[in-house]
A and B are shown apart, each in its own frame.
Chain A
Amino acid sequence: GENVGLHLPTLSVQEGDNSIINCAYSNSASDYFIWYKQESGKGPQFIIDIRSNMDKRQGQRVTVLLNKTVKHLSLQIAATQPGDSAVYFCAENHTGRRALTFGSGTRLQVQP
């Protein structure tokens, strides 16, 4: 594929299991976080976001958890499906900065 892929950490799960993808950030001023999904040959696609005044946010089959104490973000995908196979990126921003800062990504492989 065309994704960043050669040096990515990989998470392999069975179809139907729950997946947890983790992301650490270093900037204590970060106050906005996004998860993106990038399938092979495509641009990143928005999944879910969370602001720093929250510690949990749920979407359809996805949940984002934010732990500001240890500067950790996670994406939980319930009942993982083959179509969830992709590279997942976290991104962060803080007030006053126009552009996002992206993590390096995690490849999720769903085994049938």
Chain B
Amino acid sequence: DVKVTQSSRYLVKRTGEKVFLECVQDMDHENMFWYRQDPGLGLRLIYFSYDVKMKEKGDIPEGYSVSREKKERFSLILESASTNQTSMYLCASSGTSGSQETQYFGPGTRLLVL
């Protein structure tokens, strides 16, 4: 079975802090994704990566950056956290470089920015 893990289930940070969210997958997947999930807005794509050191902006990249130094690990970085970044963050991975493969999700990180 595909396993996607996220470093934290819950995080509380203060405005202006730098925040790192880590995601690891164990299936040698090329593609990895970061989403945020908010009431009434569903899942929105922040960034994705289709190879090591490669990244593409999603629909809402502002205020975020990402890092993919190793194939199995994809990090989401909030350079200066703001209260409007309080959300559930979901990482996903998928298996080929094509566009039509199932994404497998981690359990999510609930981030609260005070």
Q: Give A residues with C-beta under 8 Å from B.
A: 2, 4-7, 31-32, 34, 36, 41-46, 49, 51, 89, 91, 93-100, 102-105
Contact = CB atoms under 8 A, between A and B. Distances in A.
A7 B40 CA distance: 5
A38 B48 CA distance: 21
Given A93-B99, A98-B48, A104 B41 contact: yes
Nearest to B105: A43
Contacts of B50: 98
Given A89-B42, A98-B31, A99-B58, A46 B88 contact: no
30 contacts: A2-B108, A4-B37, A4-B38, A4-B39, A4-B41, A6-B40, A7-B40, A31-B100, A34-B103, A41-B107, A41-B108, A42-B107, A43-B4, A43-B92, A43-B106, A43-B107, A44-B90, A49-B102, A51-B100, A95-B99, A97-B99, A98-B50, A98-B56, A98-B99, A100-B103, A102-B42, A103-B42, A104-B40, A104-B42, A105-B42
Given A4-B40, A43-B90, A44-B90, A99 B102 contact: no
Interface of B: 4, 31, 33, 37-43, 45, 48, 50, 56, 58, 88, 90, 92, 99-100, 102-108, 110
Contacts of B105: 36, 43-45
Task: Give chain A's interface secondary structure class.
Answer: loop
Nearest to B6: A43
A32 B100 contact: yes
Given A42-B107, A93-B99, 16 more contacts: A4-B40, A34-B103, A41-B108, A43-B108, A45-B105, A89-B42, A91-B103, A93-B100, A94-B99, A95-B99, A98-B50, A99-B48, A99-B99, A100-B103, A102-B42, A104-B40
